[in-house]
A = this chain, B = another copy of it.
Amino acid sequence: MAKYCIGIDLGGTFIKFCLLGETGEATGFFQLPTPNEGGPDAVIQQMVGGAERLLKTNDVERGDILGVGIGSPGPLDLEAGVVRDMPNLPGFSNVPIRDSVGEALDMPAVLENDANAAAFGEHLCGAGEGLGDMVLLTLGTGVGGGIVIDGRVLHGAHGMGAELGHMIIVPDGEQCNCGQRGCVEKYCSASNLAQYAMEQVSQRGTGSVLAEVMQAKGSLEARDVQEALAVGDSLAGELWDRTMYYLALACVNICRIFDPDEVVLAGGMTKAGDHLIEPIRRHVSELNWSMSKPLTKIAIARLGNDAGVIGAAGVAMQEFQDSTANS
């Protein structure tokens, strides 16, 4: 009889669900709103109810489930299975989400950080499928990271590894929200690109597409830079290329440290497609050492918002399939 794991991806707005089969096929995707009233109990009830609905809709028996994997934003205590804090969800502090969900479903459960889950999802069924060593960079408001080595997620000794957005690449550089200076995130995130674009427009005045957009809207987003780039605005080109340079520098560091099969880029900025990949590859070639040509592939994530829920199920599959095999 085929066995499955349940994936649950807890976000501030939606909770996503899916089933992952032992052969690596993910099915049954759906989402429910994250209750913003009723505190942790309501959220856990929604997660449990969704998992039960997932089984029913897909005609899967409880006995065919090896376990449930839960992906959640941090900070988490992975070992204890506890969400320490959850942005946007009032009262969500030190919630033992793994055991609460696991006990309600009467299934073994495992908790994973959302960025790691997304990396593992891309490794299982996405851009990193079939590769042993893969590093994910998520380019959004911040820059997140997820690392898969020899097919396993790297957590670190205190569950705080893979914070690739907080690798320092400019000594005494821009002040980051994390308290450090010169982090990758301050040079490569979508929100930093927008902020830097507004500063540059203010300094340089009129004469660019970006300046016109800023005058019309009052502010700029990363997508405005991308759109101005698409119509050939030279200021947008300069700002975009600066971001690509620092991203490439981060990629070169990832290659020196991990030498992975692939660096996978995810998040809103990857909508730029070749406008993202090509300048990064060019800068990587220029920045890279002369000991070898760049051996690590740089690719765009393939699973979009489903990476996290698939990866959460995959982490459960690895954990509970292993433990079944060893018992």
Choice from B160, B166, B171, B259 contacting A156 with Cβ under 8 Å:
B259
Q: Is A325 an interface residue (CB 8 A)?
A: no
Choice from B156, B167, B178 contacting A133 with Cβ under 8 Å:
B156
Asked if B257 and A171 make an inter-chain contact with CB atoms under 8 angstroms apart, the answer reads no
Q: How far is the CB of A283 from chain B (nearest CB, A)?
A: 11
Give Cα A178 to B291, complex, Å. Answer: 7
Instruction: Identify whether the interface residues of A are mostly helix, strand, loop, or mixed.
Output: loop
Choice from B157, B167, B179, B290 contacting A259 with Cβ under 8 Å:
B157
Give Cα A322 to B250, complex, Å. Answer: 36
Asked if A290 and B171 make an inter-chain contact with CB atoms under 8 angstroms apart, the answer reads no
Q: How many copies does the complex hold?
A: 2
- Could you mark each residue 149-185 of chain A with 1 if its beta carbon is under 8 Å from any beta carbon of chain B, else 0? 1101011111111111011111100001011110000
Q: How far is the CB of A86 from chain B (nearest CB, A)?
A: 15
> Could you pull out 16 A-B pairs where Cβ atoms are within 8 angstroms?
A131-B157, A147-B257, A150-B152, A156-B258, A156-B259, A157-B260, A157-B261, A157-B295, A157-B296, A160-B259, A160-B291, A161-B258, A169-B169, A179-B289, A180-B289, A181-B287
Q: Which residues of A contact B (CB under 8 A)?
A: 75, 131-133, 147, 149-150, 152, 154-164, 166-171, 176, 178-181, 245-246, 249, 252-253, 256-261, 287-292, 295-296
